[in-house]
Amino acid sequence: MAQVYARWQATSEFGFTRCELLRFVVDVVGIVGGALLASKTFVEAQQSGSLWNWRPTRSKLDIDWQRDHGEPPPATAIGRIGESPTQNADLQIWLRTLDELGAKDIRVNQEQVTFDYVRVGRNRPDLQFTLNNRRYYVEWDTPTSGRGLGHATRILANDPAASKVLALEAGYPFPDLAGLAEQVILILMP
């Protein structure tokens, strides 16, 4: 990125030649494409059960938070998850559907709590709930941000009962939660 920025600065005074413009575009596409491919590959490998039964490591911050804080606050299923109107509208669809399905302990943007109501860290999944004796976590992210995968990894680290990540993109059909193997759902939409 530093090289791309330096090239941009050096050529912006004089304008781009065709060659420089092409190199700049190729660099940017390579950086963005590489990041997206790495993220997609990581999620697919983790979903497949490979990586030698990989489990992320819990952060000291979350371990200390769990030790130093008692009961989690009461669940609240109101609020928003960020600045994106699209993501907040999708959250409302999830909340209505979860209510119809009879989900319990629905929490929006609250500290992570496991199936047995243990506060396990400071991280705040966008949505978490219990349905059919399983705890689920949902994270929304934009396709270009890359933060969602880190959030999903932290959720997995804090709840050893959670298994695998399901990645969905805008326009997805609502998942059949009764038959879903994954308990962490990462939704990519603007």
| Tens digits of pLDDT across the chain (190 residues) | 666 666 666 655 556 565 666 666 666 666 665 655 555 555 555 555 544 455 678 888 888 888 888 788 888 888 888 888 999 999 999 999 999 999 999 999 999 998 888 889 888 999 999 999 999 999 999 988 888 888 888 999 999 888 889 999 999 999 999 889 899 999 999 9
The verdict on pTM exceeding 0.85 is no
Nearest to 157 by CA among 69, 67, 59: 59
Q: Clarify whether residues 66 and 38 are in a common domain.
A: no
Residue 38 lies in a domain: yes
Q: Clarify whether residues 89 and 175 are in a common domain.
A: yes
Q: Clarify whether residues 32 and 120 are in a common domain.
A: no
Q: Clarify whether residues 34 and 61 are in a common domain.
A: no
Q: What pLDDT score does 168 carry?
A: 94
Q: What pLDDT score does 78 carry?
A: 84
Q: What pLDDT score does 167 carry?
A: 93
Residue 108 lies in a domain: yes
Q: What pLDDT score does 4 carry?
A: 64
Q: What pLDDT score does 54 carry?
A: 59
Q: Clarify whether residues 117 and 82 are in a common domain.
A: yes
Alpha helix segments (H runs only) across the chain: 2-12, 18-47, 50-53, 60-68, 85-101, 147-158
Residue 184 lies in a domain: yes
Domain that holds residue 137: 56-188
Q: Provide the number of structural domains found in the chain.
A: 2
Q: Clarify whether residues 40 and 116 are in a common domain.
A: no
Q: How far apart are CA 101 and CA 104, in angstroms?
A: 9
Residue 51 lies in a domain: no
Q: Clarify whether residues 23 and 67 are in a common domain.
A: no
Q: Clarify whether residues 107 and 171 are in a common domain.
A: yes
The residues pairing with 131 across neighbouring beta strands, listed in sequence order, are 134
Residue 50 lies in a domain: no
Virtual torsion, Cα 117, 44, 126, 141, nearest 10 deg: 170
Q: Clarify whether residues 173 and 101 are in a common domain.
A: yes
